[in-house]
Amino acid sequence: MKIYILSSGKYGKRIVNNLATTLSSEMVGIHEVEEDLPEFIEDLTPYIPENLSESDLVIAVGLKGDINLIVLEVARKTGAKSVMISINDHTNLPPGLRKEIEEDALDINVVFAKPFCSLKPTGDQYIDEFTQNFGKPELEIEFDQLTGNQDEEIGAELIKKVTVKRDAPCGCTAFVSQELEGVPVTEAEFIAAEKFHNYPCLASMAKDPELNDAILHVAGYQIREAVKKALSFTCKSAVVDEECCMGGDGCEHLCLGVCPQVNAGNGTIIIQAEGKAYIDPASCGSCQLCIHECPYGCIEIVEEKMDF
């Protein structure tokens, strides 16, 4: 696979540096786009890189405003049919501009990832090849039973080893995984969330109107989900009282619309055959937005070990 990258700013530089640790031999070109360009640009011609190499996949990270429109031109000039554009701030690539790119794409497959660490396989040959290494975090965790006297807490296993099966493009997953070794498994998801903020993520902390939460927060939910899935349990999640849930009658499943994980493309809230909502504890970010939205008070945060 041949990858060409358009990058801008600290966010773009961090991602390029991390991707290079694994994909350097596949990177045929990297073009650094000026960071302080006007939001609206009438003539994009001077900004299109020259001497472009043939590529299969074009990746854009950290671009702001109209300069995103050069991504398709780069794809056409390099022969790429697959494009990924990362969004770390909704003001950098608003819906109207995304629609313009989609309408102009024609035979080029364009995927927008908001945040980049929410990227999953799409069925596109080259994007799926990329997600073998980078995208939505995936971990494998080994742990040992803590030994000692009979008075020790039951289930106090300690994490022995964490293997990164898929890293976040920015490198956060690899960083967090190193911080988890030796910690109790029942605290792992919470320590992961804490260490995520220590990295720190460069995504926006402003509320994204489409996600209904900050992109930074949604990025944090991805690493926490990876830890929970690797352990096959969680110690905190929103839970729906099925007897109380009215199956959408009078609420039209408002919980779905406010869930940032659902808005990011995850199946966190599932509407079952009878219409009642079910929250997947593995991907629930415990943001509590659904709790505040449910008109019947049918959702609560449960803090106890839940296997899945």
In order of their start, the domains of the chain are: 3-130 (3.40.50), 138-231 (no CATH), 237-307 (3.30.70.20)
From 101-105, 146-150, 172-176, 249-253, the region with the lowest mean pLDDT: 146-150
State mean pLDDT over 22-49. 94
pLDDT at 95 (0 to 100): 95
pLDDT at 144 (0 to 100): 81
pLDDT at 107 (0 to 100): 93
State mean pLDDT over 97-104. 96
Q: pTM of this prediction? A: 0.91
> Is the per-residue pLDDT at 61 higher than 90?
yes
Q: What percent of the chain clears pLDDT 90, i.e. is strictly above it?
A: 91
pLDDT at 273 (0 to 100): 87
State mean pLDDT over 184-207. 94
> Is the per-residue pLDDT at 291 higher than 70?
yes
State mean pLDDT over 87-105. 96
- Residue-wise pLDDT for 127-166, tens only, equals 999 999 999 999 999 998 655 444 455 457 999 999 999 9
Quote the mean pLDDT of the chain. Answer: 94
State mean pLDDT over 239-258. 94
pLDDT at 149 (0 to 100): 46
pLDDT at 241 (0 to 100): 95
Q: Report CA dihedral (92, 95, 99, 102) to the nearest 10 degrees.
A: 60
pLDDT at 147 (0 to 100): 52
> Is the per-residue pLDDT at 272 higher than 90?
yes
- Residue-wise pLDDT for 294-305, tens only, equals 999 999 999 999
